[in-house]
Amino acid sequence: MNSNFKHFLQELDTIVKKDPATSGRLDAFLCSPGYHAILFYRLSHQLWQKNWRLSARLISQFARFLTGVEIHPGATIGKNFFIDHGFGTVIGETAVIGDNVMMYHGVTLGGTKSYAGTSGKRHPTIEDNVVIGSHAQILGPITVKKNAKIGANATVVKDVEQNTTVIGSKAHVAETAKTCAFTPYGINAKTPDPYDKQINHLKNEIENLKKALSDLSNKS
């Protein structure tokens, strides 16, 4: 069997396996917008690699119009990638996605540098077997390691270790207006978190109290 055709069938089988609303390969092929977006991406990515950049971008934009999924043709995506529902998903140019990754709708693999002329790695690396919940925002050149799970609506700006589940997204003051390192996708990953400072302060207080209690016990 031709390897490309075998890969084609494997991706359809992935959808059937992971989506209980899909009854079979034909259903997956005809009715899965996430799969349609991946098909267009495979074509646009080949053109991008051949340096036919405008043609690749045009196909990418056409796919976004049809499916509601925006995948930059410069992104690197492995085997059996499945986007459930798909609508509102954005995958940036330097994003890297491994094998057997499942992603729900509304996910952003975004960069934290957006000005013209920016080069280098700007988007996340998602390793094999990762599951990303709907509307999660994964920002910057970070790595989500193998078998990790990202909860719905989570905002992730730091590396996630393998076999780890992360959840939560709560906005709070990070910096004042004149100093805030803001980008269209949020604050820079290097921006200090005041909650971290408070937690570290509490840890220091606890250690001081432990030491004081130990000194009292020794004196008695």
**Residue 126 scores a pLDDT above 60:** yes
Assign 62 a pLDDT band (cuts: 50, 70, 90).
Answer: very high
Assign 85 a pLDDT band (cuts: 50, 70, 90).
Answer: confident
* Ordered domains of the chain (ranges, CATH): 3-171 (2.160.10.10)
More confident residue, 16 or 45: 45
Other beta carbons less than 10 A from residue 35's beta carbon: 23
Assign 114 a pLDDT band (cuts: 50, 70, 90).
Answer: low
Q: In percent, how much of the chain has pLDDT > 90?
A: 54
> 109 pairs with which residues across the strands?
91, 138
Strands (DSSP E) contained in 80-136 are: 82-83, 90-91, 96-97, 102-103, 108-110, 125-126, 131-132
Q: What Å distances lie between residue 123 and 29, 74, 85, 89, 156, CA to CA?
A: 29, 11, 22, 14, 12
**Residue 212 scores a pLDDT above 90:** no
Residue 63, C-beta contacts closer than 8 angstroms, at least 6 positions apart:
36, 37, 40, 41, 44, 69, 70, 71
More confident residue, 101 or 192: 101
DSSP-based three-state secondary structure for 30: helix
74 touches 97 (CB < 8 A): no
Mean pLDDT of the chain: 85
**Residue 182 scores a pLDDT above 70:** no
More confident residue, 154 or 85: 154
Q: 68: which 2 tokens?
A: 């509601």
86 touches 68 (CB < 8 A): yes
Please give the pLDDT value at position 179. 53
Assign 1 a pLDDT band (cuts: 50, 70, 90).
Answer: low
> 200 pairs with which residues across the strands?
none
Please give the pLDDT value at position 217. 80
Question: How far, in whole angstroms, is CA 168 from its chain's centroid?
Answer: 14
CA distance 165 to 175: 28
- Identify the CA nearest to 136 among candidates 197, 212, 84, 178: 84
